[in-house]
Amino acid sequence: MSEAVSIIIPAFNEESGIGEVLESIQNMMTAEKIDGEIIVVDDGSTDKTAEVVAASHVRLIQHETNRGYGATLKTGIRQAKHDLMLITDADGTYPVEAIPVLLAASGRALARRSLAHVRHTRSREASLAV
């Protein structure tokens, strides 16, 4: 992968499964050589979600109270270090194996968009030169 990614995971009372999800994502990132960060936004959990996340050595952001899914996403997006972002759930709803596929597809889309921009720019420059 050439572009780094911020993987954003909103979480609320997910202590029972988030550790396994984080380990799976970390292993996948290592195996696929994906550069980036994992951000977990704990939305005021009343269980041990924050403790499990902290032990996983990923970036943890905590809301003091539950502010809702949308606010949690906004927090993660605002705090992301990378322009390329991927959102997944803390309970393993979405398969980790899909992440490299999605990132590859986004890379192809970015490449096509960049190529289209170059073509448009060259075409515009050519028409202005006439």
What is residue 117's predicted lDDT score, i.e. its pLDDT? 43
| Interval 51-74 mean pLDDT | 97
CATH architecture observed for domain 5-129: Alpha-Beta Complex (3.90)
* Secondary element (H or E) of residue 65: none
pLDDT tens-digit series, residues 9-43: 999 999 999 999 999 999 999 999 999 999 999 99
Distance CA 64, CA 104 (A): 36
What is residue 3's predicted lDDT score, i.e. its pLDDT? 85
117 or 46, higher pLDDT: 46
| Structural Rg of the chain based on CA atoms | 18
Q: At what angle do helices 98-129 and 18-31 cross, to 10 degrees?
A: 50
pLDDT tens-digit series, residues 84-129: 999 999 999 999 999 999 888 887 665 555 444 444 444 544 555 5
What is residue 2's predicted lDDT score, i.e. its pLDDT? 59
Q: Domain ranges in the chain? A: 5-129
Q: Which amino acid is residue 82, in one-letter code?
A: H
Residues 6+ apart with CB under 8 A from 91: 14, 17, 18, 21
* Secondary element (H or E) of residue 121: helix 98-129
128 or 53, higher pLDDT: 53
89 or 130, higher pLDDT: 89
What is residue 106's predicted lDDT score, i.e. its pLDDT? 83
